Amino acid sequence: MRRSHGPVGRAGVVGALGALATLLCVTLTGTPAQAATTVWVADGYGPGNTGYNAAEAAITTGTVASLAYRWSVVSPVVRDACAEQAPPLVTADKVVSADQRGVAAYRADTGAPVWSFRYPAPADTATPRLAVGGPRVFGAFNGCRSISDPDTVLRAFHLTTGAVLWTAARDAPASVLLVDRGVVVVSGGDATDVRVTAYRVADGAVLWERADTLLPRPVSAGGRVLLRPAEGTGAEQVDIVTGKTLWRTVESWSPLAADGAALYVSGAAGELVRTDAATGAVAWAVPGAAAQLAVDGARLYVAQGTDLVARDLAGGAELWRASFPAQLGKPVVAGGVVYATVSGRLAHPLNAATGAELDADPPYQGAIGHPTVVNGRLYVTDGRVLDAYALA
């Protein structure tokens, strides 16, 4: 028998709320306390883009099958809007999420609204890239209607109140947002203007800029970022604060994740490469497309098409493989459990050490991106409804 998604079931709650014109929040019960409070401050957990929450102690291999539905936030529908609800960021007591109308913060325990910011032009705003840095939330807001002259507005919000602290205009779209070491880095461009720009988090002042250059993914290896030319080959590691080049390579590497001294990159043919973040020296390389991965200090978990492959950190050897019926999204790891999305749903959770399935009948509904697992709660969105789960 399938487990219930709540007292009336998640589908019933969403159906009842979906007809409302304004965003509503449904609170069902509280959640168990967790000893350590952690944060999920970027799409890939932190500036290393590892997708790994090392401090999760409540939702583990032994308890993940006991997750139960807690509350939902239903996004408003804005006609002709480009944006959708995105996987949330989580601080000690807040959940921060974007949707079709704007950016908002909610109480992590109940989903009750705390503050919101509405897009000035909802029908011309794509889903923003978000990251938290200290007491601020940063968002890169792109227009979505103009093909000839797209642009971006970078905004800094006060985490507690939602007040806009500063804005910076950018005459080019931003597809990547990274916050580390007191610096906000945005990257992206169009047919005529491609660049990477670093801003000071305190006031938005430009610290450095590289034209005709990209930061392919939001990865910082201890304050070092790997940049690539917009055209041509090669890559260079630069200091995130000064923009100074630390080392160069003729290889066309794109960063995937950084864990301690190790930087994981994909090569020109899609191969997975482990390098030394400080020097660029290659430790090992294995063939096979590598675009999305998580790393937890013991293993790499690589989404390769419809397969999730666990690899040894020391030499890249395959440890286990799990196959799914469709393309996998970005994997994440917490409490010894690996999660990934597939075909618009959250796949069955797997044991990170063995690849064994941990719950054949999870309560999760539709999912995009990846789940956010922190402080004893699992958050997942289908692009319209943000659901929170906790231990029964």
Q: What is the DSSP annotation of 327-370?
A: -B---EEETTEEE-EETTEEPPPEETTT--BS-SS----B--S-
Q: What is the mean pLDDT of residues 57-85?
A: 91
Q: Is the pLDDT of residue 28 over 90?
A: no
Q: What is the dihedral of CA 169, 173, 179, 182, to 10 degrees?
A: -30
Residue 145 pLDDT greater than 90, yes or no? no
Q: Which of 104, 71, 69 is nearest to 88 (CA)?
A: 104
CB 349 within 8 A of CB 308: no
- Confidence check: pLDDT of 55 > 70: yes
Question: What is the pLDDT averaged over residues 272-299?
Answer: 93
209/100: higher pLDDT:
209
Hey, which bits of 305-384 come out as E strands? 307-312, 318-323, 332-334, 337-339, 341-342, 345-346, 350-351, 372-374, 377-381
Q: Write down the pTM of the prediction.
A: 0.89
d(CA 140, CA 83): 13
User: Which residue carries 């289908």 as its tokens?
Assistant: 382
pLDDT of residue 27: 36
- Cα separations (Å) of 343 from 116, 279, 326, 338? 31, 39, 6, 17
Q: Are 295 and 313 in contact (CB under 8 A)?
A: yes
CB count, 10 Å around CB of 259?
21
Reading the block at residue 167, the tokens are 């804005």
* Residue of higher predicted confidence among 32 and 67: 67
- Mean model confidence pLDDT for the chain: 88
120 and 101 in contact (C-beta within 8 Å)? no
pLDDT bin (cut points 50, 70, 90) of residue 345 is confident
Lowest mean pLDDT among 69-83, 185-199, 222-236, 369-383: 69-83
- The least confident of 104-108, 285-289, 371-375 is 285-289
Name which residue leads in pLDDT, 124 or 74.
74
Give the residue-averaged pLDDT of 3-28.
38
Q: Which amino acid is at 314?
A: A
